Amino acid sequence: MDMLTVCGLRKRFGDKEVLRGLDMRVPEHSVFGFIGKNGAGKTTTMKAVLGLLQADAGEITVNGEPVVYGHTPTNRFVGYLPDVPEFYPFMTAPEYLRFCGEITEMPRSEIQARVKELLELVGLSEETHRIKGFSRGMKQRLGIAQALLNRPKLLICDEPTSALDPVGRKEILDILLAARKQTTVLFSTHILSDVERICTDVAFLRDGVMCIQGKLSEIKTRYRREEYLFETETSASADALLTAFPQMQSDGDRRLILCAQEHTLFDVLRFVAEQHIPLLRMERAEPTLESLFIEEAKS
């Protein structure tokens, strides 16, 4: 089952058409990476999914129910973390989550247990300071806890790791991966290594439409090429290989890329053995999201 479907979504701001017939399907209990460069329309799409922005055309469903602008009962299925979450700074994390539970009319008997569970999930169970003293990463973690409070079927995160250091990014990604047991996770980003680390499904947004979409493993298989990386011990060895095999390409000092069939690879290996060329590394190059993203951006 698809937790979220977007069909033919269009949105124009003045003379700029940001979304041009966007189609997207987010499978239930997936971790879905929504990829696009800044200004591609990721946040516009998310606001339309939340019913906060009126689309010019198209249909959106969440958990099988249609999203209607200005009338958003579908948001009972959704937890949302904006790119810069805001809190009451004078509260502690438990106080804030209890407050959120009360204003959403959660049963009092459930609030305490749910707050304890979520603070443990996001690593804030021992934190006693007020929110005004929280780091950016701590606020992101608290934001995820708040978004999960009502047990949503879909968790939407708008670039949750973009302003964090490597440690903070790892912590947030680990939390999102753990949250998959409870919900479907959709997060937008332009940090492709984050997507490769935790996502099961991805979609590339370019010029207001999806250019690539599907299971991450299937996309990598579909775009796999016969590409091999060689790293030589000396620059002279690299030059010798380039002279003998002009189809090879330099990828920096002493690093060469060969895009060829297996018989050409065997010719290269025979040349290396006959000429006693010392290699530091030789490996088959797997396609990366970065390489796919760059290719799509150029096309």
CB count, 10 Å around CB of 162?
16
User: Mean pLDDT over all residues of the chain?
Assistant: 88
Q: Which pLDDT belongs to residue 216?
A: 85
Buried b (16+ CB within 10 A) or exposed e, 235-255: eebbebbeeebeebeeeeebe
pLDDT per residue as tens digits for the range 46-64: 999 999 999 999 999 999 9
Buried b (16+ CB within 10 A) or exposed e, 191-211: bbebbebbbbbbbbbbebebb
In sequence order, the β-bridge partners of residue 187 are: 33, 157
pLDDT band at 78 (very low <50, low <70, confident <90, very high): very high
Rounded to the nearest angstrom, the gap between the alpha carbon of residue 259 and the centroid of all alpha carbons in its chain is 29
Q: Which pLDDT belongs to residue 210?
A: 87
Q: Which two tokens stand for residue 208?
A: 């207001």
pLDDT per residue as tens digits for the range 112-143: 999 999 999 999 999 989 999 999 889 999 99
Q: Which two tokens stand for residue 282?
A: 């030789």
Q: Which pLDDT belongs to residue 291?
A: 67
pLDDT per residue as tens digits for the range 258-288: 876 656 888 999 999 999 999 998 887 766 6
Q: Is the pTM of this model over 0.85?
A: no
For residues 144 and 125, what is the distance between their CA atoms, to the nearest angstrom? 14
Average pLDDT over residues 170-197: 89
Helix (H) or strand (E) holding 211: strand 209-215
Whether 224 shows a pLDDT value over 80: the answer reads no
